[in-house]
Structure 1
Amino acid sequence: MTTQNGGTGKASPGRTTLKDVAHRAGVSVPTVSRVIAGNYPVATATKRRVERALRELDYVANTHARALRGQGTKTVAFILNDVRGPSFAEVAHGIQEEATRRGRLCLVFVSGGDPRRELEAVGLMRQQGAEAVILIGSVHDDEVYRSRMAAIATSLDQSGSRLVLCGRPPLGDAVPTTVVEYDNEGGAHAITSRLLAAGHRRVLCFGGDAALTTSAERLAGYRRALADFGVAFDPGLVEKATFERGEAYLAMRQRLTRPVDFTAVFALTDAVAAGVLRALTEHGLGVPEDISLAGYDDVPPATDLRPRLTTVHVPYEELGRTAVRLALDRSPGADGPDQHALLGTHVVVRDSIGPPRHRA
């Protein structure tokens, strides 16, 4: 059957319409509407043709979304792992403020880090007609993830929406996405260099999972700083722990059952640093008198801890604002399939780093 674009079998650019589906199925627009509504008798063969056309053209039918669009209300959706984390909250705040300034409503979904729930959420947000779907947070960056995200990005693009990867690596130049990152590895390199410049040579890298992109980039920055200072990398000075404060505390307590073979700790988040500080204090070790401590993120509890935490500042709010701005202001066909912004990070010096008291 001939299609609108000359028989290639692909949908026309932009959001697929009822007319597109009717043309593909060889029926009238009212017939397509009846099949979608399911409240009017349609011949079985005709129904099957329409349903096949709906699948092939990836048509999104959602009455609520159409009503919203008809009233002029537009939406921006974002999906994050956990609403409780301060860094997630700051990104979400930036998204909400920029979206509100532009007259958009925000749709929010929490995935809990489950890729399947994330995929379901993207489908739901697409049905709601969101102009942009923003994914926030670390992921397992493998071929399965890239293939899945590329398909999602293409599907959203064809429906007139935009996939935004916020704090995640790009998928490639051919994938229609907006990518907003921060200099994650550079920040880890800078904070580790600060510890090394203070004289520390046994720096414990604490927290995170190297299989996740955020942790992997921070570990890479840590290793690069060691190499720059001529310090050999010791796998025994990398301790895996979740980014949750309580879990970090328990993991450091377990570490301290062994001889203390480090003079400084680079905690991969400020929350991890808070757990580490509590465990060190309970063990009778002072910060920075006995052990220097550095964090990452510059969110509470960085300024609430005593001593105040030296850490890496990440512009999380601006990350969220930039994600919305780029997604909504893009010029279709003029900006290429991929938009990419990289925001800077910097070390905030406070009170938790000093010279090593002794060599471990």
Structure 2
Amino acid sequence: MTTTIADEPPARRNATPGPERGGGATLADVARLADVSRATASRVLAGRAAGKSASHARVLAAAEELGYVVNGLARSMMGVGRRSIAFVSSIMVGPTFATMAGGAEDIATAKGHLFTMCTTGGDLDREAALIETLSEQRVAAVLLVGSTPATEEFERRAQGYSDTLARVGARLILCGRAALPEHPQIASIDYDHRGGVRSGVEHLVGLGHRRIAFVGSLDDMTTPHQRFLGYQDGLADAGIEFDADLTVQSGNSSDDAASATVAFIERHPEVTAMVCQTDVMAVGVCRALHDAGIAIPAQISVVGFDDMQLVADLTPSLTTVRAPFHRVGELAGRIAVGGVYDGPAVLPVELIVRGSTGPVRA
């Protein structure tokens, strides 16, 4: 037996590109059932019509009967309705960015906005394409989160993003990154990276430490650079000459920091304290010291930065700098939903002293 496959019907000549229409009710369907114009139905469903007229009641009843759902994206692209707020980062790194995103989302959702989270993987072309797409969708604001290169190239790129977003009435907000003085229209909510590390070094000096190492990525990104400057500030305040040999190059992972620490302590047994760019690095440092039989803090004290939740549960618990990530997100969120921007903000941080630091060894 031979099975014959029928020819497919020819495509409509005037068909428009894009997804096929689903079976949902349209605004025209609601207007027809309620016996009103489409303009009236639109005003009622947008909440811009008086609520006591018979036509108002008929529109709501018709929408409920037909299961009509307002196309929020279409409305936002026409400049009406609730717009989304986008949280954009290179990667979603642990609880720090999650806490910042939580602060922004609390504000956005309280105002009825959709909150979206996007990552770029550090790909600049992907980042630029994402900003363009978000502007096409009439986003209300983009929160560009985390460390960026401290270069003129980044400033030009940020200006381009700001211009793209401004065309649709949106704005660019830097979170956890210092302001760009030449571009005051780009909002910035940051926290005191430099002062935080400086306070950690000051704490160690007060305990008698003089040979203090710094563990960090030591690149031209804003966060590592500011925290490294804080380390140098702390040494200078104490009259300790900066020694480049006491800087430990490491990626922002506990494994990288552990490996770098193993090699470093073999060359520098005189070091009595280590200040780390992040808590993630500090965890790796502590692991390497434990594995080497070096007691914390009796032989080497360790300071981190970020106050991730897990570091309070280490043995010993980690002395670290607590940054106000949630508050940064909240303030950025307030600007994103239309709040007043009074200029760049740099929020204070707090040194949290725990068991990983102690007096210099005798």
TM-score category, normalised to shorter length: 0.7 to 0.9
Partners of 1:274 and 1:301 within 8 A in 2: no
1:94 aligns with 103
1:66 aligns with 74
State the alpha-carbon separation in 1 of the partners of residues 349 and 119 from structure 2. Answer: 26
Structure with the greater alpha carbon radius of gyration: 2
State the alpha-carbon separation in 2 of the partners of residues 149 and 66 from structure 1. Answer: 27
Tell me how far 1:175 sits from its aligned partner.
4.1
Query: Any gaps of 5 or more consecutive residues in structure 2?
Result: 1-15, 19-70
1:157 aligns with 166
Match of 1:343 among 344, 347, 357: 347
State the alpha-carbon separation in 2 of the partners of residues 187 and 160 from structure 1. Answer: 36
1:199 aligns with 208
Partners of 1:150 and 1:171 within 8 A in 2: no
Q: How does 1:295-334 map to 2 (within 5 A)?
A: 295-330=304-339
1:82 aligns with 91
Partner SS state of residue 165, structure 2: helix
1:288 aligns with 297
The letter for the 2-side match of 1:158 is R
State the alpha-carbon separation in 2 of the partners of residues 239 and 279 from structure 1. Answer: 13
TM-score, length-scaled by structure 1: 0.77
2:234 aligns with 225
The letter for the 1-side match of 2:119 is V
Partner SS state of residue 112, structure 1: coil
Match of 1:129 among 112, 127, 138: 138
State the alpha-carbon separation in 2 of the partners of residues 255 and 313 from structure 1. Answer: 27
1:357 aligns with 361
Tell me how far 1:114 sits from its aligned partner.
2.8
The letter for the 2-side match of 1:177 is I
Partners of 1:79 and 1:110 within 8 A in 2: yes
Q: Classify 1:191/1:145 alpha carbon distance in 2 versus 1 (closer, same or farther; 3 Å).
A: same
Q: Which runs of 4+ in 1 moved over 3 A?
A: 67-71
Partners of 1:293 and 1:353 within 8 A in 2: yes
Q: How does 1:50-65 map to 2 (within 5 A)?
A: 65=73
1:184 aligns with 193
Q: Classify 1:329/1:73 alpha carbon distance in 2 versus 1 (closer, same or farther; 3 Å).
A: closer
Partner SS state of residue 302, structure 2: strand
Q: Classify 1:204/1:189 alpha carbon distance in 2 versus 1 (closer, same or farther; 3 Å).
A: same
State the alpha-carbon separation in 2 of the partners of residues 120 and 257 from structure 1. Answer: 47
Tell me how far 1:69 sits from its aligned partner.
5.2
Q: Classify 1:74/1:224 alpha carbon distance in 2 versus 1 (closer, same or farther; 3 Å).
A: same
Partner SS state of residue 347, structure 1: strand
Partners of 1:218 and 1:268 within 8 A in 2: yes
Match of 2:281 among 258, 272, 286: 272
TM-score, length-scaled by structure 2: 0.76
The letter for the 2-side match of 1:297 is D
State the alpha-carbon separation in 1 of the partners of residues 168 and 313 from structure 2. Answer: 46
